Amino acid sequence: MGYAVAIMAKRRGARVILVSGPSSLPPPMDVHFVSVGSAREMRDAVIGYLDAATVVVKAAAVADYRPAVQARQKLKKNAGPMTIALERNPDIIAEVGDKKNGRIVVGFAMETEDLLENARAKLEAKNMDLIVANDLQEAGAGFQSETNVIRIMDREGTIESLPLMSKMDAANRILDRVKCLLAAKT
């Protein structure tokens, strides 16, 4: 979805900075592409470009946790069980929301249960203007697909439920909502 939003925003005339973790997709043409390898690198890149942004669309599904210690070499099998300690990754969208300063902030909620309740809580807690929610158990939605089924929720509680469509069409629908929010600011 992040690549689709970047492509469609560029087609609409936006100056686009795409910060991306590892992906099999090629970088979109004519966008400033920043490749990162970890959640911490993504956080640093997003915050580093924040002052240049009018709109931030945070579509990446960054893991909430990472191993507390990274092994420098292969871990060998041993007789006992292995325990991996985890630590929290930075909450990038929450930090962007804290530093909003007049920007439009759009986030995503990918859920397997209580979709709208969890999306609403995330929208409010992280100071977003819009949240795009999709149920990962719905056919055609989420990862590894050219399609998506989304619901766009705003701060007033309006929910726009969209049918199965291409990610490019879904990106355009999201950007239509962003355009309305920008127009309301002027």
pLDDT digits (tens, 9 = 90+) for 14-65: 999 999 999 999 999 999 999 999 999 999 999 999 999 999 999 987 888 9
- Burial code of 19-38, b = ≥16 C-beta within 10 A, e = fewer? bbbeeeeeebeebebbebeb
CA distance 97 to 124: 10
CA distance 135 to 114: 9
pLDDT greater than 90 at residue 1:
yes
8 Å CB contact between 142 and 136? yes
Q: Is 1 exposed, middle or buried (0-12, 13-18, 19+ CB in 10 A)?
A: buried
Q: What is the pLDDT of residues 95-111, one digit of tens each?
A: 999 999 999 999 999 88
Contacts of 20-25 with CB under 8 Å at 24 or more apart are: 20/60, 21/60, 21/62
- At 16, is the secondary structure helix, strand, or coil? coil
pLDDT at 185: 86
Q: What is the pLDDT of residues 126-140, one digit of tens each?
A: 999 999 998 777 877
- Find all residues with CB under 8 Å of 104, minimum gap 6, and list them: 54, 55, 56, 129, 130, 178, 181, 182, 185
8 Å CB contact between 8 and 23? no
- Find all residues with CB under 8 Å of 134, minimum gap 6, and list them: 108, 109, 110, 111, 115, 141, 142, 148, 149, 150, 151
Global pTM reads 0.92
8 Å CB contact between 181 and 174? no
Beta-bridge partners for 55 = 104
